[in-house]
Amino acid sequence: MKIDQRPDRRLDMFLSHRFEGFPYNRIPASLAGMAERGPGVDAGVSYQQRAAWGTIYGEFLHDVSLASHGNELRLGYNYEWQSGKLSLKPELTL
């Protein structure tokens, strides 16, 4: 759901299905002893601000299905270079 959308910024609320889970076949040694985790549903909010120097964004997600009882915060930056039909968009995410 778009809450605010302007040419230079955007604020959204959303629900997303998390497909990732726990491997059931050939469990690697690094996961030995961990509790199994299945897919879940996250509710989130995201904000994006565009400027001449690039785009910054942030996203916060909360597990509403209680599959992992977790939260996630993503912060990032990207910049798009355009040359004719060719575009390059490197991105940094934390």
* pLDDT tens, residue order, the chain (94 aa): 778 778 899 999 999 998 876 666 777 888 777 777 778 899 999 999 999 999 999 999 999 998 888 899 999 999 999 999 999 999 999 9
Burial (CB < 10 A; 0-12, 13-18, 19+), residue 1, is exposed
Is the overall model pTM greater than 0.75, yes or no? no
What is the tens place of the pLDDT at every residue in 14-39? Answer: 999 988 766 667 778 887 777 777 78
pLDDT of residue 38: 76
Q: How far apart are CA 32 and CA 18, in angstroms?
A: 22
Per the CB < 8 A criterion, the answer to whether 84 and 68 are in contact is no
Tokens read off for 91: 């991105």
